[in-house]
Amino acid sequence: MDGGAYYFIPSVFDKNACIAISALVNAMIVEDSVALTRYVCNAASQPRIMGLFPRRSKKGIDMFVGIQLPFYEDFRGLDFPQLDSSPAESKNDHLTAMHAFVKAMDLTKAHFNSETGQFEETLRPRDVPNPKLQNVCKAMKYRALHPNTPLPVFEDKLLGDLLEPNVLLLKRANESLNYLKANLPMIESPSKKQNVKEMKQDILPRMSTDNSVLPENGKFIKTDEVDA
Q: Does domain 92-183 have CATH number 1.20.272?
A: no
The mean pLDDT of 90-111, rounded to a whole number, is: 88
| Total H helices, total E strands in the chain | 6, 6
Distance CA 75, CA 118 (A): 45
The mean pLDDT of 2-25, rounded to a whole number, is: 89
Q: Where are the CATH 1.10.1600 domain residues in the chain?
A: 92-183
Q: What is the predicted pLDDT for the residue at 203? A: 47
For residue 159, what are the CA distances in angstroms to 127, 136, 138? 11, 15, 15
Mean pLDDT of the chain: 80
User: Which of 106, 97, 65 lies closest to 178, judged by CA?
Assistant: 97
Q: What is the predicted pLDDT for the residue at 200? A: 46
Nearest 5°: the CA angle 127, 132, 136 is: 120
Q: Which of 3-7, 32-36, 212-216 has the lowest mean pLDDT?
A: 212-216
For residue 90, what are the CA distances in angstroms to 87, 185, 196? 9, 14, 38
Q: What is the predicted pLDDT for the residue at 163? A: 78
Q: What is the predicted pLDDT for the residue at 195? A: 53
Neighbours of 104 (CB within 10 A): 19
pLDDT reading at 25 higher than 80: yes
pLDDT reading at 19 higher than 70: yes
Amino acid found at 195? N
The widest CA-to-CA distance across the chain, in whole angstroms, is 95
The half-sphere exposure of 35 on its side-chain side, counting CA atoms within 13 A, is 19
pLDDT reading at 81 higher than 70: yes
More confident residue, 201 or 117: 117
Nearest 5°: the CA angle 52, 54, 55 is: 130
Distance CA 49, CA 51 (A): 7
